[in-house]
A = this chain, B = another copy of it.
Amino acid sequence: MNQREITLSGHIIDSLILPKALDIIMDQGGEFKIYEFDVGIRKSDISTARIIVSADSPKLLNNILDELSEIGASISEIKEVKLLKSPKDKVLPTDFYSTTNHTTHVLYDMDWLLVENIEMDCMIIIDKENKKATCKTISKVKKGDLIVVGREGIKVTPPQRPRGKKGVFEFMNSDVSSEKPLKSTIKSIANEIKEIKENDGKIAIVGGPAIVHTGSAYLLSDMIKFGFVDYLFAGNALATHDIENALYGTSLGVCINTGNVVNKGHRNHIMAINEINRQGSIKNAVENGVLKKGIMYECIKNNVSFVLAGSIRDDGPLPDVITDSIQAQEIIREYSHDVDMVIMIATMLHSIATGNIIPSNVKSICVDINPSAVTKLADRGSAQVISIVTDIGTFLPLLYQELTKK
Cα A198 to Cα B310 in complex, Å, equals 38
Q: Considering only CB atoms, which chain B residue lies closest to A332 in the complex? A: B312
29 contacts between A and B (CB under 8 A): A14-B26, A26-B43, A33-B42, A34-B39, A37-B37, A63-B264, A66-B263, A91-B274, A178-B214, A178-B372, A178-B393, A180-B213, A181-B215, A181-B251, A182-B394, A252-B379, A311-B325, A312-B349, A312-B353, A313-B329, A313-B356, A314-B326, A323-B325, A370-B370, A371-B372, A389-B391, A390-B393, A391-B394, A394-B397
Q: A138-B316, A312-B309, A369-B369 are in contact. Are A393 and B182 (CB under 8 A)?
A: yes
Please measure, in the bound complex, the distance between the C-alpha atom of A384 and the C-alpha atom of B87, giving whole angstroms.
50
Q: Are B353 and A325 in contact (CB under 8 A)?
A: no
What is the interface size of chain A, counting residues whose CB is below 8 A from a CB of the partner? 112
| Residues on the B chain within 8 Å of A210, using CB | 178-179
Q: Are A182 and B92 in contact (CB under 8 A)?
A: no
**Would you call A110 an interface residue if the criterion is a C-beta within 8 Å of the partner chain's C-beta atoms?**
no
A296 within 8 A of B: no
Query: What residue in chain B is nearest A257 (Cβ atoms)?
Result: B184
* Docked complex Cα distance between A371 and B176 (Å): 10
Nearest to A215 among chain B residues (CB) is: B181
Contacting pair B315 A137 (CB below 8 A): yes
Cα distance, A270 to B122, chains bound together (Å)? 8
Contact between B325 and A177, CB atoms less than 8 A apart: no
A residues 302-330 near B (Cβ < 8 Å) are 309-317, 319, 323-329
Is A132 an interface residue, CB under 8 A from the partner?
A: no
Residue A79 CB within 8 A of the other chain: no
Contact of A43 among B32, B315, B395 (CB under 8 A): B32
Among A28, A32, A379, residue most surrounded by chain B Cβ atoms (within 10 Å): A379
Q: Chain B residues with Cβ under 8 A from A88's Cβ? A: 277-278
**From residue A10, how far is it (CB to closest CB) to chain B in Å?**
13
Query: A184-B258, A349-B312 given as contacts; is B31 within 8 A of A278 (CB)?
Result: no
**Residues of chain B with a CB closer than 8 A to A391's CB:** 178, 182, 369, 389-391, 394-395
CA of A139 to CA of B325, assembled, Å = 18
CB distance from A5 to the nearest CB of B (A): 15
Interface string of A71-83 (1 = CB under 8 A from B): 0000000000000
Instruction: Indicate which residue in B67, B171, B311 contacts A311 across the interface (CB closer than 8 Å).
Output: B311
Q: Mark A118-129, 1 if CB is under 8 A from B, else 0.
A: 001100000000
A65 to B180, CA, bound (A): 27
